Chains A and B, each alone.
Chain A
Amino acid sequence: MHIHKFEKIWLIFGITTLIVFLTVIGVSAFYLGNQPPSCLATINPEKVDTTAPFNEPGLKKVEGKEWDYELVYVASAFSYNPGQVEVPLGAKVKVIATTKDVIHGFEVAGTNINMMLEPGFISEYVTTFDKAGEYLIVCNEYCGVGHHMMTSKIEVVE
């Protein structure tokens, strides 16, 4: 099949760009560890309140791990527990969250923390809070009539 010379050049240029782009996100994912939140741990969604660590939601200092704090959230229609939390500036934090009922979103607006919370699964993401201020958490996945009222707050303090 004949392909026009200019079209060949156009396709070679395009495909090369594509390969470069995919290499960049591949290296970022597998070498630098910038993977999306993909935790494979499961939980009984009806026993969240009695299952550790979700029986005690909130910020906890931990020792001997790659992160300094664990920030545990339980989502349910239409709120997060805790509803507000203070995090020290510069803390490396593992955010751990799950839902007791339907699917919820967990987005710390204006940051890269963005996870789906699905019944039966735990979602995790490790991040460093290196800018002081108030951050809004919003549910960004439709969960019912009170969806837009579902919110929480993180204050990063010195």
Chain B
Amino acid sequence: MNTNSMNPKVDRRDGKLSMAHFYVAFTALAIGGLAGLLQTLVRSGKFELPSWTGYYQILTIHGVVLGLVLTTFFIMGFQLALVSKTSGTFTDKQRLTGWIGFWTMTIGTVMAAIMILTNQASVLYTFYAPLQAHALFYLGLTLVIVGSWIDGAAIIMAYTSWRKANPGKPSPLLTFMSLVNTLMWIVATIGVAATVLFQLLPWSLGLVDRVDVLVSRTLFWYFGHPLVYFWLLPAYMAWYAIVPKIIGGKIFSDSLARMSFILFLLFSIPVGFHHQLMEPGIDPAWKFLQVILTFLVVIPSLMTAFSLFATFEMFGRSKGATGLFGWVKKLPWGDARFAVPFIGMLAFIPAGAGGLVNASHQLNQVVHNTIWVTGHFHLTLATSVVLTFFGISYWLVPHLTGRVLTKAMNKLAIIQGVIWAIGMTFMSGAMHAAGLLGAPRRSSFSTYGGSEQAAEWIPYQIAQAVGGTILFLGIILMLYIFINLAFFAPKGEEEFPVGEVADQAEKTPMVFENWKLWLGITVLLILFAYTIPFIDMIQNAPIGSKGYKFF
């Protein structure tokens, strides 16, 4: 990796910008986590919410606040820190852009939150037109997205100026990865921006009477799947380029890391139909095409898995490990910066396997909209990604605030990771099992008129509540650690670990920085996967739907 422009420390002014993002992200964790706890309790059938709130209102809070606010704020804060560290301190103009992005996102979040809290927007976070929320809810979420674009502009500006200052050289790996994720995010969010601006806003303001539901769903899922890769890629950044340094090893291959990120850019967007497999109005042949494209992300995922374990093994052997698995013992299990993301990596194995089921043409029919799906993304997003984010916070927050991760906090962080793993085993395991029996997702507690089938689901729902309670303890611990690292930990220098490439790895080819090529292929794939079915949808459209407020 190119280290000549790397900052020894993230500049304090850039650190403040990142920390602002993290304050919002961890506030979201507190609110969304509490909402999650209440949901699992209600669904156990042993607990009722007070009359001034409802299950679906709480569910909307949980989804929006954790799925959109926590993730977007954390990721943008993390990426800004990565770019500032590896490509040099932001210019005043770049930093100002970042702040404008932050405030735009924050104002949008507050607007959406007010609408949810006053029960004018209990439409969950996938919108569900023709259920109609208050216009300010849609406008608020638009501002969150637009704000993230402005944040992204700061990253693109910093990348561009680095490339200008270093002609003919590959950009620093972590800057490159942040850029890929930002570009993917911008291409993907065009879908949700289009449905909100052209469909949902005019309709909720009463400017038009009707909304085309299928078009709105298609635009949403065009964004909704790459969204999960937007969450995942920052975790991959840490796994590829930061964890190797933490354990004292080297990055296996710089070029392969870049290649896998480019493949994620290409294959994560033209695949939204696999969320719509059970829907009318889309020809099955087009659904199958997108199923195939969905499965192509298996390739970069396999590359990532190989690269990670190669790094671990190379490190273990360099410490004198022998035998097939002797290197496992040499890994620094007592270091939360490694151990916590490692739990996340392990969770990704069943999580990825479950994902293959969900995206399959026919297997999806068994699990579609059952609570199995909820179990799946509580392993991917809520374990793999979130534990990696926690692992990042353990060094990044003290680095940015000029403090250190003490031994006591490190120990607490490992306990936190273990609690999370136990809670999630109960909750996600029970969700997977109940889903296979047919229990629906996004539903409040119900005996369905005393049905025998529904009675079988209830023990699993109680297990979910047990898991949810353990997870909430994990959230309290995490918030305690975050507050300690941000405000109370002893002053000092905490390392910002950036991995170096293994000596035997070869020079990185410049073709990876050819954005005309990669964005061109991305656009072609999107056009290939969407043009004809989209024209079909519009030509074959039924009369649009009026708005309903069933909440």
Contacts and interface: CB of A to CB of B under 8 A. Distances in A.
Interface of A: 1-4, 6-7, 10-11, 14-15, 18, 21-22, 25-26, 28-30, 34-46, 77-78, 101-103, 105, 107, 109-110, 112, 114-124, 134-136, 138-149, 151, 153
B545 A145 contact: no
Given A101-B548, A118-B281, A7 B256 contact: yes
B362 A121 contact: no
15 contacts: A3-B256, A7-B303, A10-B302, A10-B306, A22-B292, A35-B284, A40-B540, A45-B542, A109-B438, A119-B130, A122-B280, A123-B279, A140-B442, A151-B446, A151-B451
A46 B543 contact: yes
Interface of B: 54, 56, 122, 124, 128, 130-131, 213-214, 217, 252-253, 255-256, 259, 276-284, 287-288, 291-292, 295, 298-299, 302-303, 306-307, 310, 356, 360-366, 368-370, 437-446, 448-449, 451-454, 505-506, 509, 540-545, 548, 550-551
A112 B438 CA distance: 10
Given A11-B299, A38-B283, A140-B441, A114 B366 contact: yes
Nearest to A118: B213
A100 B407 CA distance: 61
Give the interface centre of B128, B252, B299, B362 by most chain A CB atoms within 10 Å. B362
Contacts of A14: 298-299, 302
A120 B541 contact: yes
Give the interface centre of A2, A41, A120, A153 by most chain B CB atoms within 10 Å. A120
A110 B451 CA distance: 13
Nearest to A103: B128
Contacts of A105: 369, 440
A149 to B, nearest CB: 6
B214 A120 contact: yes
Contact of A29 (B214, B252, B361, B509): B361
B372 to A, nearest CB: 11
Contact of B56 (A43, A102, A114, A147): A147
Contacts of A122: 280
B56 A110 contact: no
Nearest to A14: B302
B214 A1 contact: no
Contact of A121 (B253, B280, B370): B280
Contact of A145 (B54, B363, B446): B54
A4 B253 CA distance: 9
B440 A138 contact: yes
Nearest to A106: B278
Given A4-B310, A140-B370, A151-B449, A37 B278 contact: yes
A38 B284 CA distance: 6
A150 B98 CA distance: 47
Contacts of B442: 140-142, 147
Given A135-B453, A140-B369, A114 B278 contact: yes
A78 B441 CA distance: 16
Contacts of A4: 252-253, 310
Given A107-B368, A121-B542, A142-B442, 16 more contacts: A7-B256, A10-B302, A28-B361, A36-B364, A36-B365, A38-B287, A40-B281, A119-B545, A120-B541, A121-B281, A136-B451, A144-B548, A145-B122, A148-B446, A149-B446, A151-B449
